Amino acid sequence: MKNVLLVGDSIRMGYDKSVKKTLEGRANVIFPAENCRFACYLLRSFHDYFEGIKGEDFDVVHWNAGLWDCLRLFEEEPHTPIDVYTYYIDRICKRIKKLCPNARVIFATSTSVQSEKMDVNFKRYNEEIEEYNSAAVEVVKKYGFEVNDLYCLSKTLPDEAHSDPVHYYTTLGTEAFTNKVLSYIAPALGIEEKLEYKEEMYTDAPIGI
């Protein structure tokens, strides 16, 4: 059976269970229980998420990092300056190529937020998310990685798709993101037929935002 690795922040945690359930019997889908947080943390932790599978045995790696990096706490600057962010995105790309040389690699852009509903001491802005996304996409494309534009999808979703100003832990949001992720993963696994979506939603509050 083919192996798929999903890593990323709490947006990833909103679709990983449904991706796994939908691909049950077709692929072994693994993902960490924890939130992979900002780019520097993902770089440090990436190899810890393999769950006993050899890196060279992964067929697909789908990953994201960015929402923690552009977070502004207490009206200060973004957590990770954008030049430092792109530095770590580049290193993550190298790490993935080194440890998972046979994988088809897909980078997912960070999703949009409802800034007006966020506290001033815990703030993200879509304009900055777009800047960080653009910077990351420029880097990952140099490595031949595919780009799954979840940001573009998120901008098309209605307000009721949100479970809070950042997340989409709703039936509507979960299905939309799961199907978008599957639209990239399935072809990479050689699955040509349309998959029947099977929902498994998170019911707890997000683990870190």
Residue with tokens 């040389």: 101
Q: What is the pLDDT of residues 22-67, one digit of tens each?
A: 999 999 999 999 999 999 999 999 999 999 999 999 999 999 999 9
Which domains are assigned to the chain? 2-188 (3.40.50.1110)
Percent of the chain scoring above 90 in pLDDT = 95
The whole-model pTM stands at 0.96
Q: Confirm if 144 and 137 have CB atoms less than 8 A apart.
A: no
* Burial status of residue 64 (CB atoms within 10 A of its CB: 0-12, 13-18, 19 or more): buried
- Would the CA dihedral through 190, 13, 38, 147 be positive or negative? positive
Average pLDDT, whole number, for the chain?
A: 96
What are the structure tokens assigned to 132, written together? 């960080």
